[in-house]
Amino acid sequence: MQKFTVLDGLVVPLDRANVDTDAIIPKQFLKSIKRSGFGPNAFDEWRYLDHGEPGMDNAKRPLNPDFVLNQPRYQGAQVLLARENFGCGSSREHAPWALEDFGFRAIIAPSFADIFFNNCFKNGLLPIRLDAAVVDALFNAEAKAAGLRLKIDLEQQAITTPDGTVYRFEVEAFRKHCLLNGLDDIGLTMQHGDEVKAFEAKHRAAQPWLFN
Amino acid sequence: MNPQTLYDKLWNSHVVRTEADGTALLYIDRHLVHEVTSPQAFEGLRLAGRKPWRIASMLAVADHNVPTSGRAQGIADPIARLQVETLDENCAALGINEFKMSDLRQGIVHVIGPEQGATLPGMTVVCGDSHTSTHGAFAALAFGIGTSEVEHVMATQCLLMKKTKSMQVLVEGNLGRGVTAKDLVLAVIGKIGTAGGTGYSLEFAGSAVRGLSMEGRMTVCNMAIEAGARAGMIAADDTTIAYFKGRPFAPQGELWDKAVAYWRTLHSDAGAQFDKVVQLDAAGIRPQVTWGTSPEMVVAVDGRVPDPARESDPVKRSGIEHSLKYMGLTPNTAMTDIKIDKVFIGSCTNSRIEDLRAAADVARGKKIAPNVKLALVVPGSGLVKQQAEREGLDQVFIAAGFEWREPGCSMCLAMNDDKLEPGERCASTSNRNFEGRQGQGSRTHLVSPAMAAAAAIAGHFVDVSK
């Protein structure tokens, strides 16, 4: 997994609440058996004017000029700013795969859906919860100054704006450790294999019908 | 010992170890697998040279991509076919129990798990699908996981997670005539919102919940995720225990008695503390219909499309405006004046025998309205389909003009050929009314099976409680 330490990235504002994973990556792209290549189809139905299907040459498709990600000033954005309940709906990890493949490294919103939030951390993508008022302030700052960049420091759990304002954010210690170091958590769990075996033996003795 | 919630009991009985920050390693009893979210996990396992920890804990089925007609010809779409074949190959290579497309037991993963007794009370159940919350109806701790977590569970039989907060959703009283489990859970979502359960596990309780059949309880827990909660659950009682008697994967003989004794402890203790309690009066719940593009955008069928001008919160107001534009609806329209183009009866929310009976009762002896271009009935599993046919329900639907299909997820997420055309409006018994969910430009209204059947007959929404 890609490490996340410090990011100095351009912000793109997606001013909507309840952005669901069907919107982030529509179902027709879930037929792929790979975990890469979803970036060109991130937000497919909002981003293009035609109907997208797997295997199309996306470079030749008509873009929706009104969709924020298509506007020239946001090209190369790495920080997605959104409203409440971002990533709700399906558990599809294709959603963070698509966002990461598109080039995002961090998402800032007042709240995230639980499964999506969890999936981000497995893919080097940092979801940051900030108070709705702070998110509002960031939307306003972005609207005033085209090309807003934010410095996001995971170690310090701090976001710094160009005018020097610092916003602190929370992140669970274990997730932070894994993301800072790019650790594969399967490998970490396997170090506790003996404990899992001991638990399993005890569990089997108590509820043998679970092991039929 | 302090009184415990059902969630506490299920959690505590599966913790292998806990990190300093509270992240726990949780043991997983049952791992359900389907074709869409597993190929990358199997590949990851292979690339790392790892083997599944406990193959017997796994049960696999293809459901999202499978066609619901013309099965003998196989899957026409080559990309979908490859995904289903990949599941078949992975299961064959590792010796994982899989119900293939030709198997009578094939069906939607959340229907077949309980139907087989592969889901049992007291279990931890995971699947790479958000509607895994369904299995919580059996006093199990069940939640959806991403593909990285699918791989983690395969490799280690465990998941890394932190305990959530707990919320009790207490629904007391009796549901009125024509008011179902679907209406109950839509009313809950309408009350607490699609993010109301975020960070919580929900326990549904109260006399209205206890009065539901297991099918109804599954419908309720299925949609816990639409309230933002990863897990929803209901205490075990006689209804729960009776459901499992004689199921293929359920214990028998002495083990059955021992299991039942344990299952009877699976309820929140008197005096157990929840982080939050939400109460609803069952008698006040009317048949529900969603009008927007989020399940919380819901009203009673005798209500009207909301007027954004009356919403003071600017983010919410713009959300309502955006949804109404997408849905092609005018503020203040009576819900019963909304005409539909298609009807979908199916999905892991409402495709069980009781759902089909309720829909058939409404459709019996009637014909679908001329403006309804297609009305699909998609049973949740081959066994549900067989049971329905034994009861003659298929003939009721066919005589009324519905199409009777093979089991699968079908038009709930429209990954196969069952989809809406842009702008088409559907009365759907599924769980999500998101933009594009049932096909690009699709307009979904979530309802109960009886409400969907009644809309098919009338051509517009009608109040089945009248």
- Cβ within 8 Å, pair B413-A27: yes
| pLDDT higher than threshold 90 for residue B137 | yes
Name every chain A residue with its beta carbon within 8 A of the beta carbon of B432. 20, 22, 89-90
Name every chain A residue with its beta carbon within 8 A of the beta carbon of B130. 89-91, 115
3-state SS class at A72:
helix
| pLDDT higher than threshold 90 for residue B409 | yes
Place B365 in a pLDDT band, splitting at 50, 70 and 90. Answer: very high
Residue A64 contacts B, CB cutoff 8 Å: no
- Mean pLDDT confidence for B253-259: 97
CA distance A14 to chain B (A): 12
pLDDT score, position B267: 98
- Mean pLDDT confidence for A82-92: 97
| pLDDT higher than threshold 80 for residue B112 | yes
- Cβ within 8 Å, pair A196-B255: no
- In angstroms, the CA B267 to CA B140 distance is 11
Please indicate, yes or no, whether the overall pTM of this predicted structure exceeds 0.95.
Answer: yes
3-state SS class at A166:
strand
Query: What would you report as the CA-atom Rg of chain A, rounded to the nearest whole angstrom?
Result: 19
Identify the residue among A90, A139, A184, A200 best suited for mutation to test binding to B, counting B beta carbons within 10 A and taking the highest.
Answer: A90
Identify the residue among B119, B163, B241, B315 best suited for mutation to test binding to A, counting A beta carbons within 10 A and taking the highest.
Answer: B315
Say how many C-beta atoms besides its own lie within 10 A of residue A191's C-beta.
8
Place B55 in a pLDDT band, splitting at 50, 70 and 90. Answer: very high
Name every chain B residue with its beta carbon within 8 A of the beta carbon of A93. 37, 40, 128, 146-148
The one-letter amino acid at B196? G
The one-letter amino acid at B74? G
pLDDT score, position B458: 98
In sequence order, which residues have a C-beta less than 8 Å from that of residue B311 and are 6 or more positions away? B317, B320
CA distance B122 to chain A (A): 9
Q: Exposure pattern of B127-152 as b/e (b: 16+ CB <10 Å)?
A: bbbbbbbbbbbbbbbbbbbbbbbbbb
pLDDT score, position B399: 98
- Cβ within 8 Å, pair A54-B146: no
Say how many C-beta atoms besides its own lie within 10 A of residue A16's C-beta.
17
- Cβ within 8 Å, pair B25-A195: yes
Mean pLDDT value across chain B: 97
- Cβ within 8 Å, pair B148-A31: no
Task: Check if the beta carbon of residue A16 is closer than 8 Å to that of residue A87.
Answer: no
A 116-175 residues with CB < 8 A to B: 118-119, 122-123, 172-175
- Mean pLDDT confidence for B155-166: 97
Beta pairing class for B97-99 and B24-27: unpaired
Eight-state DSSP code of residue A107: E
- Cβ within 8 Å, pair B146-A91: yes
pLDDT score, position B78: 95
Name every chain B residue with its beta carbon within 8 A of the beta carbon of A175. 23
Name every chain A residue with its beta carbon within 8 A of the beta carbon of B414. 27
- Mean pLDDT confidence for B373-390: 98
pLDDT score, position A72: 96
Name every chain A residue with its beta carbon within 8 A of the beta carbon of B16. 192, 195-196, 199
Q: What residue in A sits closest to B195 (Cα-Cα)?
A: A85
Regarding an ipTM greater than 0.90, the answer is yes
Q: Closest by alpha carbon to B276, among B198, B194, B172? A: B198
CA distance A150 to chain B (A): 23
Q: By percentage, how much of chain A surpasses pLDDT 90? A: 97
H/E element holding A178?
helix A173-181
Residue A73 contacts B, CB cutoff 8 Å: no
| pLDDT higher than threshold 80 for residue A212 | no
The model's pLDDT over B177-234, given as tens digits with 9 standing for 90+, comes to: 999 999 999 999 999 999 999 999 999 999 999 999 999 999 999 999 999 999 999 9
CA distance B348 to chain A (A): 13
* Minimum-distance CB partner of B80 among A31, A199, A210: A31
3-state SS class at A112:
strand
- Cβ within 8 Å, pair A88-B195: yes
pLDDT score, position B315: 85
- In angstroms, the CA B218 to CA A18 distance is 25
pLDDT score, position A76: 97
pLDDT score, position B15: 98
Name every chain B residue with its beta carbon within 8 A of the beta carbon of A55. 79
pLDDT score, position A184: 84
A 20-59 residues with CB < 8 A to B: 20, 22-23, 26-28, 30-35, 45, 51, 54-55
Name every chain A residue with its beta carbon within 8 A of the beta carbon of B53. 196
CB pairs under 8 A between A and B: 195
| pLDDT higher than threshold 80 for residue A97 | yes
- In angstroms, the CA A149 to CA A6 distance is 13
- Mean pLDDT confidence for B339-349: 98
Say how many C-beta atoms besides its own lie within 10 A of residue B213's C-beta.
15
Task: Check if the beta carbon of residue B26 is closer than 8 Å to that of residue B142.
Answer: no
Q: Closest by alpha carbon to B349, among B358, B341, B340? A: B358
Q: By percentage, how much of chain B surpasses pLDDT 70? A: 100
pLDDT score, position A1: 86
| pLDDT higher than threshold 90 for residue B124 | yes
* Minimum-distance CB partner of A196 among B77, B156, B258: B156
**Exposed, middle or buried by CB within 10 Å (0-12, 13-18, 19+), for B325?**
exposed
**Exposed, middle or buried by CB within 10 Å (0-12, 13-18, 19+), for A36?**
exposed
- In angstroms, the CA B226 to CA A22 distance is 13
User: In angstroms, what CA-CA distances link B341 with A30, B304, B439?
Assistant: 27, 20, 14
| pLDDT higher than threshold 90 for residue A145 | no
- Cβ within 8 Å, pair A119-B148: yes
pLDDT score, position B1: 75
Name every chain A residue with its beta carbon within 8 A of the beta carbon of B37. 91-93
What's the helix, strand, coil split of chain A in %, to 5?
A: 40, 20, 40
CA distance A106 to chain B (A): 18
- In angstroms, the CA B174 to CA B365 distance is 29
The model's pLDDT over B266-288, given as tens digits with 9 standing for 90+, comes to: 999 999 999 999 999 999 999 99
| pLDDT higher than threshold 80 for residue B326 | yes
pLDDT score, position B97: 98
Q: Closest by alpha carbon to B87, among B60, B56, B113? A: B60
pLDDT score, position A146: 79
- Mean pLDDT confidence for B113-135: 98
Main-chain dihedrals φ then ψ at residue A201, nearest 5 degrees: -65, -40
